[in-house]
Amino acid sequence: MRYWSRVETFFRIQTVLRAIKQTQVSVKRVRSSIEDELAHSTALTTKVRLLFQFRKAVLVHPVIDCLNQSPVAPLERSTERWCK
């Protein structure tokens, strides 16, 4: 009787070790997935930030700014095409 209880204990320990190993593999897979998503998100955020910086640089360009100003008088239009 004592022999079987030891064998059962051994099998229980093996089962627990297998469950721990499966949990470790599952956690590793989820961690890898999260890291990949974070890296993709970071790269996307960087691209978006660069795009906004580019748009901001384009919008503050002097030629673009003059388009927002009031129209030039008719005589000045023929001689002056851009902002003063």
Q: Are 82 and 66 in contact (CB under 8 A)?
A: yes
- Mean pLDDT, the chain, as a whole number? 77
pLDDT value for 70: 53
pLDDT value for 5: 85
- Indicate the residue type of 72: V
Predicted confidence (pLDDT) at residue 84 exceeds the cutoff of 60 = no
- Between the CA of residue 36 and those of 40, 42, 50, 80, what are the distances in Å? 6, 10, 21, 55
CA distance 79 to 76: 5
pLDDT digits (tens, 9 = 90+) for 25-62: 999 999 999 999 888 888 888 888 888 888 777 776 55
The proportion of the chain whose per-residue pLDDT surpasses 90, expressed as a percent, equals 33
- Please state the domain extents for the chain: 2-79
| Residue 77 CB partners (closer than 8 Å, separation 6+) | 71
Q: What is the pTM of this model?
A: 0.51
Q: How confident is the model at residue 66 (pLDDT cuts 50, 70, 90)?
A: low
